[in-house]
Chains A and B, each alone.
Chain A
Amino acid sequence: MILVALFGIGDAILYVPSLTATAAKQDAWISALIGWGEGFLLTYLYVSLSMRYPNKSIFQYSAEILGKWLGKAVAVLFISYFFIDASLMLMEIGDFVTTQIMQETPIEIILVLFLVIIVMGVRSGPEAFSRVSELLFPYFLLLFFILIAFISPQIKIENVKPVLAHGLAPVFGGNFRYAGYLLETVIMIVIFPLVKRPARAAKAYILGILLANFFLTIITAVAILVLGADITVLLAYPSYTLAQKISIGNFFERIEVLMAVIWFITLFVKITICYYATNIGIAYTLGLRDYRHLTLPLGMIMIVVALTTMPNRPYFDSFVSDIWMPYSLTYGLFLPVLLLSVGALRKKPVC
């Protein structure tokens, strides 16, 4: 559950406020609220897909449902999605660190540094990195609530008024972008068969997504309440700016690094899972016995992919706001629905 929650929060915690606010303005928090329902429905879809084929990975049952070649093709598509997602997030880290924290450090060094721990995490296996996430979760909680508590004096309720000034359309527009992040949780489907008791895993999956939604809604709402819709839209990292605004008794100032730590924790978990999914996907498709041989060479490729796909920041912004959502929709909604329906048509339900 914690793994899913941290995954769901992932990189979204820095970007979501700005993305949703772009369309929904001061009603972005309503967009995030709608996300709860969407999150639940999507997870329900993934869970019901996984539950039909317990103890089998998505790569295995896609071949089972669609036949060998078509199934492999779908598996490769999924793998490419996971891989691109992982490199995108790696680039996000590099971009964030070099623009906000350490301007003089070359981005490659930051990428390599993070890649080292990601590869280390993936090599140590899913059991170990899910424990890491359990270990880190209390710190995440602590930091998050410190952030919210310290920023709360600056909340101005006028910032969310007028509510629904432009009707519901922009709210759904904002929600459209928000859902792009929810759709990424399809990656968790790879982790699902590793859990011994599917029923508990299903519960954890759904609860984790709801928890992630909870945190995202709070951070979106607080960002708008404190910064106002207009500024939130302009900023690249509104949550980070939020933390910069904290000032308690002229002493607790500039603790935005807390926010950075929150973000690093969630992002680390997310990239590790994506990367793990890529690795076992490739290992399965090629019929390798151990995915660990892949981690290092793939990691090197990932750095290059990260550097070439995202030449600069504006490119990234337009990619995320225009392309990412439809792209995710393919994998997050279309393919799982396809698998589920074809699977249901081809043979009678197992249970």
Chain B
Amino acid sequence: MIHTEKQAAPFLYSLDENLEKVKRELGNSTDLVTRQVRLEAVDQMQVGILYTEGLVDKNMISGFMESLMLHARKEDFPVEANPLMLMKDFLLTIGGVEEVYDFDHLYDAILTGDTVILVDGYSYGFIANTKQWEDRGVQETSVQTVVRGSREAFSENLRTNTALVRRRINNRNLWLETMQIGDMTQTKVAMMYIKGVVQESVVTEVRERLGQITIDGILESGNIEEMIQDHTFTPFPTIYNTERPDSVAAGLLEGRVAILVDGTPIVLLVPAVFVQFFQSSEDYYMRADFGILRILRLISFFIALLAPSLYVAVTTFHQEMLQTNLIMSIAAQREGVPFPAAIEALLMEFTFEMLREAGVRMPRAVGSAISIVGALVLGEAAVQAGLVSPATVIVVSITAITSFVFPSFSMSIPIRLLRFGVIALAASFGLIGVFVGMIALCIHLCTLRSFGVPYMAPLAPVNLADQKDTLIRLPIWMMHTRPHFLRQKNSVRERKSKI
């Protein structure tokens, strides 16, 4: 936590000099507040109070200043006793008070929202925990929405976030470790796990990887994710992220480790597996037959990945596979189109991706413009202009819809990337190319690991018991065990009921 190379500098005895030094070293920053008061009760003792405006609870500060100046009586401070210790015990009616001996700790304290109290003639002071700042508060989920289930989302405040998880798991085995990462930003990063459920080696691994990060700043959990993930050169996310406290709680109960980062509502869960990105927390709240929707999502995955390339392959190389009427109508549509199917598909996919990107980045005020123009370039007008065939428009639209099906946004990125690669393969080698691409994808997926867990578990390696909660979800009373691929110590989720 030391951001200067120097040795920790101890305090001087003179309060004035101490305050001067602090002001000088913080560059006379205008949000630093230093106040000096004289204590009537304790022999006209000079007391200095330092804090950063905006990071502290002003009521709390005025509260203890009041108690220092008004309620302190002479008889509470016998001459022979150390007045500072008495001050700490009697007067500071605040939760966390600790002593501080050097300037480095002082800077850390006042810059994170604590208040430092220094006394003239003594080379140490107190840190009082007065942190409070404006935040967004707990709001509704905006990315991972559900029809049924909790609507709370994480916020930017680490304390609020840990509290949200703790409220769901009231157990003394829910452990929390905090560390500070980022030489400049000193961002608080917390690991949460359930002792006795989680596999110890995963916890150690996470702790080690977090400890190895040396970077100047962590601004979002994405920074952490990139530093600790197993594989960088893969389009697939090997760390799960969520904004839902109930997803995190469920992950902890399964034996995962949650990584919470101060300043972001996105929480990381490790280890992550492929199928996890097709599961929504709602799957567990609705009745079990709702879980069949996961198969729908998996089909959407394949459609989103393959639809344009299959279209290209079939229309360019394998016309005989289609029924005669169908191929006739497609050929008729394509008659006036100047491009080969591959170029056409690439063009439309590209347009769609650009529209999507524009839609996300655009200021809300001009939002309606993009939808009007978008409908033109991706629709009837493009067809009438003779640039694309209606079949291509339909294929691209299906792809677009299916790529929004996944509950987790991070899974749609690899699909968007790989889609273009598969189109290129289809355009050059037809279905053989698509097949080769898919096998290569399988090989790639099977080599991935996330914190020691094979990424494709429980599909490969197969675990039959885990299939209860993979592509379908069986009723909760049938799922007696936690997912085995996480190799927890205690895998029994549900005691056998005697009904």
Do B446 and A129 have beta carbons less than 8 Å apart?
A: yes
Q: Which of A257, A260, A268 has a CB less than 8 Å from the CB of B439?
A: A268
Do A131 and B436 have beta carbons less than 8 Å apart?
A: no
Do B432 and A102 have beta carbons less than 8 Å apart?
A: yes
Question: Which listed segment binds B: A8-16, A68-76, A117-125, A277-285?
Answer: A117-125
Least distance between B143 CB and chain A CB atoms (Å): 29
Asked whether B442 is an interface residue with its Cβ less than 8 Å from the other chain, the reply is yes
Least distance between A307 CB and chain B CB atoms (Å): 18
Encoded as 1 (CB less than 8 Å from any B CB) or 0, chain A from 270 to 291 comes to 0000000000000000000000
Asked whether B430 is an interface residue with its Cβ less than 8 Å from the other chain, the reply is yes
Task: Determine the distance from Cα of A111 to Cα of B454 in the docked complex, in whole angstroms.
Answer: 30
Given contacts A113-B433, A113-B436, contact A132 B446 (CB under 8 A): yes
Task: Determine the distance from Cα of A251 to Cα of B461 in the docked complex, in whole angstroms.
Answer: 37
Interface residues of B in 441-498 (CB under 8 A from A): 442-447, 454, 456, 459-462
Do B456 and A135 have beta carbons less than 8 Å apart?
A: yes
Do B446 and A131 have beta carbons less than 8 Å apart?
A: yes
Asked whether B184 is an interface residue with its Cβ less than 8 Å from the other chain, the reply is no
* Top 9 A-B pairs, shortest CB-CB distance: A131-B460, A134-B460, A131-B446, A135-B460, A124-B447, A128-B446, A128-B447, A132-B442, A117-B439
Task: Determine the distance from Cα of A114 to Cα of B439 in the docked complex, in whole angstroms.
Answer: 10
Q: Which of B320, B435, B442, B456 has a CB less than 8 Å from the CB of A261?
A: B435
Task: Determine the distance from Cα of A250 to Cα of B436 in the docked complex, in whole angstroms.
Answer: 30
Task: Determine the distance from Cα of A84 to Cα of B430 in the docked complex, in whole angstroms.
Answer: 28
Q: Is the interface of A mostly helix, strand, loop or mixed?
A: helix
Asked whether B317 is an interface residue with its Cβ less than 8 Å from the other chain, the reply is yes
Interface centre among A132, A254, A261, A268 (most CB of B within 10 A): A132
Task: Determine the distance from Cα of A237 to Cα of B204 in the docked complex, in whole angstroms.
Answer: 56
Task: Determine the distance from Cα of A136 to Cα of B438 in the docked complex, in whole angstroms.
Answer: 10
Asked whether A97 is an interface residue with its Cβ less than 8 Å from the other chain, the reply is yes
Interface residues of A in 87-130 (CB under 8 A from B): 97, 101-102, 105, 109-110, 113-114, 116-117, 120-121, 124-125, 128-129
Residues of B within 8 A of A120 (CB): 440, 443-444
Can you list 20 A-B pairs, Cβ within 8 angstroms, ordered by A? A101-B431, A109-B429, A110-B432, A113-B436, A117-B439, A117-B440, A121-B439, A121-B443, A128-B446, A128-B447, A131-B454, A132-B442, A134-B459, A135-B442, A135-B456, A253-B323, A254-B320, A257-B318, A257-B321, A257-B431
Q: Which of B317, B321, B323, B443 has a CB less than 8 Å from the CB of A128?
A: B443
Asked whether A255 is an interface residue with its Cβ less than 8 Å from the other chain, the reply is yes
Task: Determine the distance from Cα of A245 to Cα of B439 in the docked complex, in whole angstroms.
Answer: 27
Q: Which of B320, B436, B444, B447 has a CB less than 8 Å from the CB of A114?
A: B436
Residues of A within 8 A of B444 (CB): 120
Least distance between A204 CB and chain B CB atoms (Å): 12
Q: Which of A105, A134, A257, A261 has a CB less than 8 Å from the CB of B429?
A: A105
Asked whether A264 is an interface residue with its Cβ less than 8 Å from the other chain, the reply is yes
- Known pairs A101-B432, A116-B436, A253-B323 / 8 extra A-B pairs, C-beta < 8 Å: A102-B432, A116-B440, A117-B443, A135-B456, A135-B459, A136-B439, A250-B323, A261-B435
In the complex, the chain B residue whose C-beta lies closest to that of A134 is: B460
Task: Determine the distance from Cα of A102 to Cα of B443 in the docked complex, in whole angstroms.
Answer: 25
Least distance between A345 CB and chain B CB atoms (Å): 40
Residues of A within 8 A of B433 (CB): 113
Least distance between A89 CB and chain B CB atoms (Å): 15
Do A255 and B321 have beta carbons less than 8 Å apart?
A: yes
Q: Which of A117, A135, A254 has a CB less than 8 Å from the CB of B446?
A: A135
| Total A-B residue contacts, Cβ distance less than 8 Å | 75
Do B436 and A124 have beta carbons less than 8 Å apart?
A: no
Residues of A within 8 A of B436 (CB): 113-114, 116-117
Residues of B within 8 A of A2 (CB): 462
Residues of B within 8 A of A116 (CB): 436, 440
Do B446 and A102 have beta carbons less than 8 Å apart?
A: no
Least distance between B303 CB and chain A CB atoms (Å): 16
Residues of B within 8 A of A264 (CB): 435, 439
Do B439 and A134 have beta carbons less than 8 Å apart?
A: no
Do A132 and B460 have beta carbons less than 8 Å apart?
A: yes
Least distance between B383 CB and chain A CB atoms (Å): 26
Q: Which of A102, A109, A132, A136 has a CB less than 8 Å from the CB of B317?
A: A102
Task: Determine the distance from Cα of A135 to Cα of B455 in the docked complex, in whole angstroms.
Answer: 12
Residues of B within 8 A of A105 (CB): 429
Task: Determine the distance from Cα of A97 to Cα of B429 in the docked complex, in whole angstroms.
Answer: 11
Task: Determine the distance from Cα of A102 to Cα of B444 in the docked complex, in whole angstroms.
Answer: 27
Q: Which of B318, B320, B323, B443 has a CB less than 8 Å from the CB of A132?
A: B443
Residues of A within 8 A of B439 (CB): 117, 121, 132, 136, 264, 268
Residues of A within 8 A of B440 (CB): 116-117, 120
Given contacts A131-B460, A132-B442, contact A97 B432 (CB under 8 A): yes
Least distance between A161 CB and chain B CB atoms (Å): 34
Q: Which of A114, A124, A257, A261 has a CB less than 8 Å from the CB of B443?
A: A124
Task: Determine the distance from Cα of A89 to Cα of B70 in the docked complex, in whole angstroms.
Answer: 94
Least distance between B312 CB and chain A CB atoms (Å): 14
Task: Determine the distance from Cα of A128 to Cα of B318 in the docked complex, in whole angstroms.
Answer: 32
Interface residues of A in 131-171 (CB under 8 A from B): 131-132, 134-136
Least distance between A100 CB and chain B CB atoms (Å): 11
Least distance between A13 CB and chain B CB atoms (Å): 16
Residues of B within 8 A of A117 (CB): 436, 439-440, 443
Interface centre among B321, B429, B430, B446 (most CB of A within 10 A): B446
Do A124 and B446 have beta carbons less than 8 Å apart?
A: yes
Residues of B within 8 A of A113 (CB): 429, 432-433, 436
Task: Determine the distance from Cα of A128 to Cα of B449 in the docked complex, in whole angstroms.
Answer: 11
Least distance between B450 CB and chain A CB atoms (Å): 14
Interface residues of B in 266-324 (CB under 8 A from A): 317-318, 320-321, 323
Residues of A within 8 A of B431 (CB): 101, 257, 260
Task: Determine the distance from Cα of A121 to Cα of B444 in the docked complex, in whole angstroms.
Answer: 9
Task: Determine the distance from Cα of A113 to Cα of B459 in the docked complex, in whole angstroms.
Answer: 27
In the complex, the chain B residue whose C-beta lies closest to that of A125 is: B447
Residues of B within 8 A of A102 (CB): 317, 429-430, 432
Do B442 and A136 have beta carbons less than 8 Å apart?
A: yes
Q: Which of B317, B432, B435, B461 has a CB less than 8 Å from the CB of A131?
A: B461
Task: Determine the distance from Cα of A124 to Cα of B454 in the docked complex, in whole angstroms.
Answer: 13
Encoded as 1 (CB less than 8 Å from any A CB) or 0, chain B from 321 to 339 comes to 1010000000000000000
Least distance between B317 CB and chain A CB atoms (Å): 7
Task: Determine the distance from Cα of A124 to Cα of B462 in the docked complex, in whole angstroms.
Answer: 19
Interface centre among A117, A129, A260 (most CB of B within 10 A): A117
Residues of B within 8 A of A250 (CB): 323
In the complex, the chain A residue whose C-beta lies closest to that of B431 is: A257
Interface residues of A in 209-262 (CB under 8 A from B): 250-251, 253-255, 257, 260-261
Least distance between B189 CB and chain A CB atoms (Å): 32
Residues of A within 8 A of B442 (CB): 132, 135-136
In the complex, the chain A residue whose C-beta lies closest to that of B321 is: A254
Least distance between A324 CB and chain B CB atoms (Å): 26
Residues of A within 8 A of B317 (CB): 102
Residues of A within 8 A of B459 (CB): 134-135
Residues of A within 8 A of B460 (CB): 131-132, 134-135
Residues of A within 8 A of B443 (CB): 117, 120-121, 124, 128-129, 132
Task: Determine the distance from Cα of A253 to Cα of B326 in the docked complex, in whole angstroms.
Answer: 12
Residues of B within 8 A of A254 (CB): 320-321
Interface residues of A in 292-330 (CB under 8 A from B): none
Interface centre among B431, B436, B443, B444 (most CB of A within 10 A): B443
